[in-house]
Amino acid sequence: MPISGFPEWLPPQRMIEQYVLDKIRSTFELYGFAPLETRAVEPLETLLSKGETSKEVYLLHRLQDSSGASASSSSDDQLGLHFDLTVPFARFVTENHGKLVFPFRRYQIQKVWRGERPQEGRYREFLQADIDVVNRDTLPFHFDTEMPLVIGDVFRSLPIPRATILVNNRKVCEGFYRGLGLADTAQVLRTVDKLDKIGPEKVAALLAETAGATDAQAQACLRLAEISATDGSFVDAVRKLGVTDPLLDEGLAELLQVVEAANEHAPGLIRAELKIARGLDYYTGTVYETQLQGYERAGSICSGGRYETLASVGNTRFPGVGISIGVSRMLGLLFGQNAISVSRSVPTAVVVAVPAEEQRAECIRIASALRRRGIPAEVAPTAAKFGKQIQFADRRGIPYVWFPGSPDTVKDIRSGDQVEADPTTWTPPAADLRPTITGI
């Protein structure tokens, strides 16, 4: 029985996923990020201290502890499955900082778990692909400008709709709110982050209720959130609102650097969007979200930001910046619209037909010779009539059938062309060697 929110892709979808992961991994490594995998569980107190996550954390425990007591009384209740990869990464850095060379660049591709309401593209178990850079004491800002460039290269390598990275800086928002006279800037940020979900009127009412905002202050917050630009013009737009604060100035300068760097490397990739806040409390500066063209209503498929205080040992801080691709989320949306497909349902490029069961050993030798040369091959399951063995290949999208004989021949079952072939020299066209992934 399917369990809502826990996707299980069919083999063709899984092949697409693996292709996407290979592209992500290779791009991350081109930028010098090293691989890392952390444990699936973290102490519950760690997970609950990182934003509005208390309703989303899955607890981990045994059915009974060693004394036979019920699960609710077991100390294992203090472990939860991680809801993102940034929190466990920060913990890993603090535990291993003496063994790491800083700045430390890592990528991590793992499952995470969140107990949220399942819907299209939103799951309770899903795959994320993260990159982060952390440093000891201070992290130069140029790493914030690099994150969108890496992600832009990833998305351009995939047959998916055009991606736009939306970027903001929490210092802009917090400085603006401070300049307005709003003290609880964290609460204002969390409320404004709900803008797309509940709309401006409800956000304004919530600002009054939870942050003590006057109507004028709430309207100013909404006007800031309306500012959007693909170039540096957002700076003037903010200035025209007439609010001043040193933190606001710092945030505008940083955000301008990110936008200008992206426009030089990949024009059209990035857009300053001043309503972006991100719901997790550990972000302190730059924040990113990413939309796919045609799927804007589904929200962000790649998010992240700068964090200054998430990892520390004594008086030593390890500030970082990172961004995470929601691989399952992105693919779930594309699968739902049949917007990405694979040319065949198995990796096999050629099926070796079996004339009679007595000849199966020879057929296996032929397949082995092909595999040694990197050609995916399998032997037909039965010595049925050749027509049925061709149908077996055709149903799976396998393009070639090999017929043992004197001489051997191989048939392209799409065109009907059949030629003599030797398993030690024959190679299919490059386009047929591996399944092809295409988008619409």
Is 114 annotated as belonging to a binding site?
yes
Question: Do 80 and 211 reside in the same domain of the chain?
Answer: yes
pLDDT for the residue numbered 97: 95
Range of the domain at 413: 350-439
Provide the pLDDT for residue 75: 47
Q: Tell me the percentage of the chain whose pLDDT exceeds 90.
A: 81
Among the ranges given (92-106, 205-219, 330-344), the one the predictor scored with the smallest mean pLDDT: 205-219
Residue that is last in its domain, among 321, 341, 361: 341
Is 39 assigned a ligand-binding role in the annotation?
A: no
Give the whole-angstrom CA distance, residue 123 versus residue 3: 11
Given a cut of 50, is residue 76 above it in pLDDT?
no
Q: 157 with 180, same domain?
A: yes
- 55 pLDDT exceeds 80? no
* pLDDT score of 50: 62
Q: Residue holding tokens 């009679």?
A: 356
Top-confidence residue, 61 or 51? 61
- Mean pLDDT within 97-104: 96
pLDDT per position as a tens digit, 247-257: 999 999 999 99
CATH number at residue 246: 3.30.930.10
Q: Which of 395, 335, 248 is nearest to 256 (CA)?
A: 248
pLDDT of res. 413: 97
Out of 17-26, 154-163, 188-197, 315-324, least confident range = 188-197
pLDDT (tens digit per residue) in 278-330? 766 788 999 999 999 999 999 999 999 999 988 889 999 999 999 999 999 99
Q: Per the annotation, does 293 bind a ligand?
A: no
Q: Are residues 93 and 158 in the same domain?
A: yes
Q: Are 42 and 176 contained in the same domain?
A: yes
Task: Say yes or no: 224 and 131 in one domain.
Answer: yes
Check the annotation: does 245 bind a ligand: no
Residue 70 zone, left/alpha/beta (φ > 0; ψ -120 to 50; rest): beta
Q: Which residue has the higher pLDDT, 150 or 71?
A: 150
pLDDT value of residue 142: 97
Residue 69 confidence (pLDDT): 55
- Which of 341, 376, 405 delimits the end of a domain? 341
Q: Are residues 380 and 334 in the same domain?
A: no
Domain count, the chain: 2
* Average predicted confidence (pLDDT) for the chain: 92
> Was 85 annotated as part of a binding site?
yes
Whether residue 439 is predicted with pLDDT greater than 80 in this model: the reply is: yes
> Is residue 172, in this structure, part of any structural domain at all?
yes
- Does residue 282 have a known ligand-binding role? yes
pLDDT attached to residue 66: 60
Same-domain pairing of 329 and 423: no
* Residue 113 sits in the same domain as residue 223: yes
Confidence of residue 47 (pLDDT cuts 50, 70, 90): confident
Same domain, 196 and 152: yes
Residue 3 lies inside a defined structural domain of this protein: no
SS3 letters across the chain: CCCCCCCCCCHHHHHHHHHHHHHHHHHHHHCCCEECCCCCEEEHHHHHCCCCCCCCCCEECCCECCCCCEHHHCHHHHEEECCCCHHHHHHHHHHHHHHCCCCEEEEEEEEEECCCCCECCECCEEEEEEEEEECCCCCCCHHHHHHHHHHHHHHHCCCCCCEEEEEEEHHHHHHHHHHHCCCCHHHHHHHHCCHHHHCHHHHHHHHHHHHCCCHHHHHHHHHHHCCEECCCHHHHHHHCCCCCCHHHHHHHHHHHHHHHHHHHHCCCCEEEECCCCCCCCCCCCEEEEEEECCCHHHCCCEEEEEECCCCEECCEECCEEEEEEEHHHHHHHHHHCCCEEECCCCCCCEEECCCCHHHHHHHHHHHHHHHHCCCCEEECCCCCCHHHHHHHHHHCCCCEEEECCCCCEEEECCCCCEEECCCCCCCCCHHHHCCCEEEC
Does residue 72 have a pLDDT over 60? no
The model carries a pTM of 0.91
Domain stop point among 285, 311, 341: 341
Same domain, 253 and 374: no
Same domain for 323 and 380: no
* Burial class, 425, CB count within 10 angstroms (exposed 0-12 / middle 13-18 / buried 19+): exposed
231 belongs to an annotated ligand binding site: no
- What are phi and psi for residue 102, nearest 5 degrees? -100, 150
Span 361-385, pLDDT tens digits? 999 999 999 999 999 999 999 999 9
Using pLDDT thresholds of 50, 70 and 90, give the confidence band for residue 74. very low
